[in-house]
Structure 1
Amino acid sequence: MNDFRLGFAKKFGITDTIRSDDPDAHQKILAKTQNRGVDIAMVSTGSVNAISQAIDLVRKGGTVMMFGVPTKDVKMSLEMSKVYSKEITITPSYAASETDTNEAFRLIEQGTINVKKLITHKFDLVDSAKALDYAHQGNDSMKIIITNSETLN
């Protein structure tokens, strides 16, 4: 629910965005998917409300990918009949494997993936606390780099 980040996504070819707090979000998604729902819903927050909403918005046979980690001991109520009747796959991802990490580094090193486009702010090592504070707020940032002053430019 960050307008800056939704707008930022459009720089990468995303043609349309819908805020999850939009009261018409479900109807808008159904209208854009011929009344089916989305193929994949990626939950990038630890919010159990977001997980529940993803289950509602995914199509029959769709997948809910969970990347955000809920806080420890959080519980949620889940209407299991939705999961079964829609035959939804729910896939959590806690961390990348060493193989995945090495493949990502290889793609970045080869220039296949340009991560520099994701960096919105750079901070010197002495400003680490400020950088972490800024990242926590997340208002107008995507990825923040903390580096030494010799590599800032």
Structure 2
Amino acid sequence: MEQEDINNSDIRLIFKDFGYSPYNKSKGEYEDFVSLIKGNWTLNFKLNCKDTSKTYIINKSYKVNNKKVHVKTVTLSPLSVKIKSNGKYNHFISKVTMKDSTVYSGNDFFISNTSSYSTIGMDLFGRSESYASFSKILNPKDIKSITINDEIEVMMP
């Protein structure tokens, strides 16, 4: 699926009532919405941003538990990282290490992973893309490495 480029578009956000849905721990579910301020608000703005992401060609193979993983590219932006790879390996970004030795992991970013596989003859060939969105803005030039599944450390050029 191809993403639509919405840059330079007019954006309209419409809000109704300000409030929250309380979480009931004993039931393990959210309760009905509690309205704090009733009303309607509309926010209009033009989305105008510059894509500052940079894609690095890695083209390096790694072996983990007798499985070969070939990391093709890593794309970095101030808010995210994306890794494209091939191999019979389901992976996720587990850690980002900065040049100053600061490590971001766990709650420091949100992870998303997509994989697709096709059968070619008797061999199963996989393609995978993993994403991590950072919870704060990072300078991509300061990223030293990306770690996959706590096993593969992909060094940035």
Greater Cα radius of gyration, structure 1 or 2: 2
- Structure holding more strand per residue: 2
Q: Under a length normalisation based on structure 1, what TM-score does the superposition of the two structures give?
A: 0.20
Q: Under a length normalisation based on structure 2, what TM-score does the superposition of the two structures give?
A: 0.20
